[in-house]
Amino acid sequence: MPRPVKLTRNALLTTKLPAWRSRLLLGLMAGCFMALAMRAFWLQAWSNDFLQKQGASRYERNLEIPAIRGKIVDRTGAMLASSLPAKAVWADPDDVNATPEQKARLAKLLGMDRRELERKLGEDKNYVYLKRQVDSDVAAKVAALKIPGIHQRNEYKRHYPEGETVAHVVGFTNVEDAGQEGFELSQQQRLAGKPGSRRVIKDNLGRIIEQIGSGREPQDGADLALSIDSRIQFLAHNALRDAVREHRAKAGAVVVIDVRTGEVLALSNWPTYDPNNRLALTGVQLRNRAITDIYEPGSTMKPFSVAMALENGKVKPSSIIDTAPGKLTIGTATIGDAHTYGPLTVEQVLQKSSNVGTVKMALKLPPQRMWEGLTAVGFGQPPQLGFPGAVAGRVKPYKTWKPIEQATMSYGHGISVSLIQIARAYSVFARDGDLMPLTMLRLDEPVAGVPVFKPETAQAVRKMLEMAAGPQGTAPLAQIPGYRVAGKTGTAHKLENGAYANRYIASFVGFAPVSKPRVIVAVMVDEPSAGQHYGGQVAAPVFARITGDTLRALRVPPDAPFATLIHPVDPVRESM
């Protein structure tokens, strides 16, 4: 039998290892411990700031506390724009863990396309907005899904109670709560306020664990009180809308001004839009035509030509102007009237809206004097409204005028104005020669006007304007039962590619009651196409409706019998 072998005699156990190997291993281990100790000392003693920043970048967050945007109210305190609590739904794509069913439900709640949601959740970011300004009830349903990585933050959503009625005045804000149009834009700094902030520590689930420091409190925006009266704005809006639809017009605009203060009580445009829902918004709807669009005013300019001739002593109200044979040739151009009137007094020239009579008076004036008169009432200068987009219009320098240009400007061609400009200019006739500065902000105290014409000149033209709006004038449809009215029609061809086209702007500008004027109302209807296009047919009835409703809303006492006789308008009586 083989002899047993003892384990102690195993060749591996009996092999002797060199002493230097054990010392080397011990030295290496000691070196590693020494390196770790030095690294720990370096990190804790010299790199503390770096580590603090790294930790802060992972767990600390600067949260913005939004300021509440100031309210916009009308002159009576009625709400026109306010901020409501809302939520911003955001995601950390790396943390989102949702089933296909949860994603489908989330997309439906947020009104998003499923592919758009997937695209946002696939972005290489740690903070992605899914939807801003989400209503509180919808946000609650989103939170109920309990999807990891989907979070919410507080913000505000702008709400406009009057909707489309006052859209062009108030304007609207974007998702960042910054003004984009109207007073929301022009008064952005005043309304916006200043946001606050606080520094917090969040855990890996996005929950706030601790607040660091005291933070900064938000400063809410200041409220804004407009001169607009929402009752009158509603009346003007409805009347304009109905007129544009009735006459199948392209657009229209209305301005209502308080004669006593120069405050704009209503400003409406059609087409308009709902600032609460701008999904299908177009540029046409955004245009504030009463302020930003210019047009040739036509015969609404004639009262100023008559006033300048009276003011400079060229004529008197009773002076006779021979308009026969109803035409006047200047150079190679011929100016005509709708009828051959023959001799007319100055009063009758304005009452009948005679182009020939107006031109003969205007040509008695030196060009410089006429230019000074036009600019004195605000033409060629942007109105100081504190409102975006107000235009200056166009009045050519008098040194370049040719006789035919001076002639056509006297009856409203070759000169361009905005509706609010000409509405303001009529204050010289409603206020005994004073031109009122306009404002769209509520005034606590009236401001003084600037004298332009002598009181007797303004009063004489006021009488003529009452005749023009009477049964024998061009706008009997402007009459209002119970009130005396004064005003002037306008019908002007539109310029297209440098030539007058067979398209019209019908307008009417007037005021009431004549015994003590309270409101000026200017109406413009662009391209009526339902068979009527004269100012006396299209714009005058709108003036009567708005002015009558406004005077009654303001409780202005009647100054005329209620049995006012209104005759049908003769469409060829009014010249263009």
- Where in the sequence numbering do the catalytic residues fall? 299
Q: Where are the beta strands (DSSP E) in 50-127?
A: 60-65, 72-73, 79-91
Report the distance separating Cα 519 and Cα 513, nearest Å: 8
DSSP 430-455: HTTTEEPPPBSB--SS----EE-S-H
Round to whole Å and give the CA distance between 548 and 424. 20
* 511 neighbors 517 (Cβ within 8 angstroms): yes
Q: From CA 419, how far away is CA 523, in angstroms rounded? A: 8
Choose among 385, 421, 445, 384: nearest CA to 183.
385
Give the 3-state secondary structure of residue 511. strand
The residue whose two tokens read 């039962």 is 481
- In contact, 169 and 187? CB cutoff 8 Å: no
Which stretches of 383-482 are DSSP H helices?
A: 403-410, 419-425, 427-430, 455-468
Both structure tokens of 359: 């031109």
CB atoms within 10 A of CB 278: 16
Cα–Cα distance measured from residue 224 to residue 70, given in angstroms and rounded to the nearest whole number: 7
Rounded to whole angstroms, the maximal C-alpha distance in the chain is 162
**CA separation (Å) from 273 to 66, 188, 205, 279, 449?**
28, 21, 42, 10, 35
Do the Cβ atoms of 551 and 499 come closer than 8 Å?
A: no
